[in-house]
Amino acid sequence: MKKVVHTESAPAAIGPYSQGSVFKELLFTSGQLPLDPKTMNFVEGGVKEQARQCLTNLKAVLEAGGASLDSTVKTTCLLSDMANFAEFNEVYTEVFGTAAAPSRTCFEAARLPKDALVEVEAIAFINQPMS
């Protein structure tokens, strides 16, 4: 049976979807935008700041669903411009490292919601049951 994940530590959904869904021992997150969950506005700055906020939001959803960054097995990363790939990778490496980084797909999207520069989603194994 599917369980819906919700946390106040990540932005509320801006459409008809949940922050994440758990099925058996897997957590599937929705794409996380660089929104501050308190203000629902984008963080100030460029691609690095937006990437950092996306990954902070992703971490919050993973943890609310009983998973973690360490249990993440796959990410999908969308950039508004592949010219930002190197800067995005700097932040991504800070968060996931390189030795045990999850499998990843990264591509340019014609346009992201709210004209974001970055969006990140993940699939992770559950470490502990949802509370």
Active site residues: 106
CA–CA dist 115, 25 (Å, integer): 33
The pTM assigned to this predicted structure is 0.95
DSSP 3-state of 60 = helix
Q: What are the tokens at 125? A: 């194994």
For residue 87, what are the CA distances in angstroms to 16, 51, 77, 104?
31, 9, 13, 16
Packed helices 47-64 and 85-96: angle between N→C axes, nearest 10 degrees? 40
Q: Select the CATH number that applies to the domain covering 3-125 from these four: 3.50.50.60, 3.30.1330.40, 3.90.1210.10, 3.20.20.70.
A: 3.30.1330.40
pLDDT tens across 7-61, in order? 999 999 888 999 999 999 999 999 999 999 999 999 999 999 999 999 999 999 9
